[in-house]
Chains A and B, each alone.
Chain A
Amino acid sequence: MTLQEALFNYLLRLGDNALIQGHRLSEWCSKAPVLEEDLALTNMALDQIGAAQAFLKYAGAIENKGRSEDDLAYKRAERQFFNNLMTELPIGDFSFTIAKQLLLSSFEFFLFRGLSQSKDQTIANIAAKTLKEVHYHLAHSRDWCFRLGKGTEVSHEKLQNSVNALWMYTDELFEMGEADEVLMEAGIVFSLKEIKPKWLELVSGILDDANIALPNVDYMQTGSRKGIHTEHLGHLLSEMQFLQRAYPDASW
């Protein structure tokens, strides 16, 4: 794997995670439990889609085949996406969205803090900007975990069930492959294994404060690094890409 191929692949991972998670958050538009939360979730969706735009634009430039961020977002098929499986899971109920955001944002907190020191200046810049947004996403989901976890019996049970259901998708966030090795050698990225214990410490601390038990799960899902997804991504893409598929290169 050349450095260029590795970088392209890694940027797709970053861009696709942001794009798919952003799309899922946008599904809350007009459906959140209260108006304020409707705005909060869609604000976060826009943060994510902004990050996706930046990463995919850079991915297109690295690939150097004339593909724009829009081409990459709307004209790739399911097997060509490298987002983590967790991002594509349906939004579920509010507790599921909050639990998912907590697990992802706490991962992104360490990821982008590390990448903001990258030798690749473009990645470092996007990571530094994204890190500010992630701080807020993390605070938002953390505080909601406290409220739900220590709220009523029902809210506690819902949050606990959501964390349990999501846990088997967490290992995959830290999977490393050939692209990671190549880029680590060039000083562009760092080892995800380094941040896993820090992530676990942060998440278990928050869950503990929220009276939520750490799930005991043996089986961990895998696949996204190879472009293998859950059955949910295809449906998501059919909706997200509808316009470009039905009216290619439409503009207004």
Chain B
Amino acid sequence: MANDTQLALWEVFIQSKSGGHHVHAGSVHASDYKMALQNARDVYTRRNEGSSIWVAPSSCFSASGPEEAEMFFDPAEDKLYRHPTFYTMPEGAKQI
């Protein structure tokens, strides 16, 4: 892979509606947090997707790798009882 000659990488999280979650939208290059916010605004909220933006330097993130996947996630496979599917939904409730 060619060396990245652009500015530092930032991860972008967009909240679509006030009160909702910030969801990872992608990344932008920027030299500082202001530029990162402005670039994120220009790249990811052009079609009215956003009401708030978070940015953080990509270097601040740690990610689990495929080699950890078995250890991390497989043990949860047979623990169906952790899903609250055995309750009956109260009448009128959309989610519990």
- Which chain A residue has the least Cβ–Cβ distance from B45? A43
The docked-state distance in angstroms from the alpha carbon of A140 to that of B28 is 16
What band does the interface of chain A fall in when counting residues whose beta carbon is under 8 Å from B? 10 to 19
Q: A34-B6, A34-B7 are in contact. Are A39 and B38 (CB under 8 A)?
A: no
Residue interface bits B16-39, CB-to-A below 8 A is 1, else 0: 000000000000111110110011
Indicate if the CB atoms of B39 and A40 lie closer than 8 Å: yes
User: Which parts of B14-65 form the interface with A (CB within 8 Å)?
Assistant: 28-32, 34-35, 38-39, 41-43, 46
The docked-state distance in angstroms from the alpha carbon of A43 to that of B42 is 7
Chain A residue numbers with a CB within 8 Å of B29 are: 34-36
Q: A34-B29, A39-B46 are in contact. Are A143 and B35 (CB under 8 A)?
A: yes
User: Which parts of A134-160 form the interface with B (CB within 8 Å)?
Assistant: 136, 139-140, 143, 147
Contact among B28, B32, B34 with A36 in the assembled complex (CB-CB below 8 Å): B28
Indicate if the CB atoms of A36 and B46 lie closer than 8 Å: no
Residue interface bits A104-147, CB-to-B below 8 A is 1, else 0: 00000000000000000000000000000000100110010001
Indicate if the CB atoms of A39 and B43 lie closer than 8 Å: yes
The docked-state distance in angstroms from the alpha carbon of A140 to that of B46 is 16
User: Which parts of A12-45 form the interface with B (CB within 8 Å)?
Assistant: 34-37, 39-40, 43
CB distance from B41 to the nearest CB of A (A): 8
The A interface is mostly helix, strand or loop, or mixed, namely: helix
Chain A residue numbers with a CB within 8 Å of B39 are: 36-37, 39-40
Indicate if the CB atoms of B42 and A36 lie closer than 8 Å: yes
Chain A residue numbers with a CB within 8 Å of B35 are: 143, 147
Chain A residue numbers with a CB within 8 Å of B38 are: 40, 136, 139-140, 143
CB distance from B31 to the nearest CB of A (A): 7
CB distance from A155 to the nearest CB of B (A): 12
CB distance from A66 to the nearest CB of B (A): 34
- Which chain B residue has the least Cβ–Cβ distance from A36? B39
Contacts A36-B39, A136-B38, A143-B34 aside, 19 further interface pairs with beta carbons under 8 A come to A34-B6, A34-B7, A34-B29, A35-B29, A35-B43, A36-B28, A36-B29, A36-B30, A39-B39, A39-B42, A39-B43, A39-B46, A43-B46, A136-B41, A139-B38, A140-B38, A143-B38, A147-B31, A147-B32
Please name the 3 residue pairs, one residue from A and one from B, whose CB atoms are nearest each other, closest first: A36-B39, A40-B42, A39-B42
Enumerate 23 A-B pairs (CB-CB under 8 Å) in ascending A order: A34-B6, A34-B7, A34-B29, A35-B43, A36-B28, A36-B39, A36-B42, A36-B43, A37-B39, A39-B43, A39-B46, A40-B38, A40-B39, A40-B42, A43-B46, A136-B38, A140-B38, A143-B34, A143-B35, A143-B38, A147-B31, A147-B32, A147-B35
